[in-house]
Amino acid sequence: MSFINYSSREINCKIVFYGPGLCGKTTNLQWIYKKTNPDSKGKMISLATETERTLFFDFLPLALGEIRGFKTRFHLYTVPGQVFYDASRKLILKGVDGVVFVADSQIERMEANIESIENLRLNLAEQGYNMDIVPLIIQYNKRDLPNVVPVDDMRRALNPRHLPDFDAVASEGTGVFDTLKAIAKLVIMQLKKG
């Protein structure tokens, strides 16, 4: 649910990076943070455990410039991917405008990917959203590893609706901004529909 402020002429939108544990959600945000002009970004906040696993969420505010005279801001969040943090994941989806599902391309993580996207559907529904309507982008991350599932197979399992999807190596930045741009576009198009 975006926040449109006619007084200060600003639009704020919330994008959530979702996916199984260790799939690279935080890495996506870290890359965006690293490569964004200092004037355009706020502080990145990570509520993580001592071993740098996301405990509650990561948060990165981005100011992207103006659209039709309105300053456009995106608030990027990640959820904790580990299965037992489900209560926290639900909370972070509140008021979401768009979701990036980050899948881990390694063969041994396919089951976790499927479990996580099913969990996303359930948790969105619990907040009153229908996953078939919410702006959603799929990212196949870690494509540089040797033991990856072919993209066509991942697509069949995770993206039967043929949503926009991207190959990525988030640790090197490959596909990260393509993904961000695609979800921003979907979210803004949703605003257009009103």
Partner 1 sequence: MLGSDLVMYEEEFKKIDGELQRLLQQANAKVVFLVDKNGQLIAATGETENLDTTSLASLTAGNIAATGGMAKLLGEKEFSILFHEGVRDNIHISIIGQRVILVVIFDQRSSLGLVRLRVKKSAEIFGGIFNQLLQKVETEKGPGKGAESPFAEITDEDIDKLFG
Choosing from 25, 97, 136, 176, the residue that interacts with partner 1 (CB under 8 A) is: 97
In the chain, count of helices (H) and strands (E)? 5, 8
Contact 98, 74 (CB under 8 A): no
Could you say whether residue 162 binds partner 1 (CB under 8 A)? no
> Which of 75, 109 has the CB closer to partner 1?
75
8 binds partner 1 (CB under 8 A): yes
**Interface with partner 1 (CB under 8 A), residue from 18, 101, 129, 140:** 129
Could you write out the DSSP letters of every residue in 126-181?
HTT--TTTS-EEEEEE-TTSTTBPPHHHHHHHH-TT---EEE-BGGGTBTHHHHHH
Check binding of 61 to partner 1 (CB under 8 A). yes
How many residues bind partner 1 (CB under 8 A)? The answer is: 50
Per-residue x/- track, 63-92, partner 1 (CB under 8 A)? -xx-xxxx-x--x-----------xx-xxx
Distance CA 37, CA 72 (A): 15
Q: Which is nearer to partner 1, 100 or 134 (CB)?
A: 134
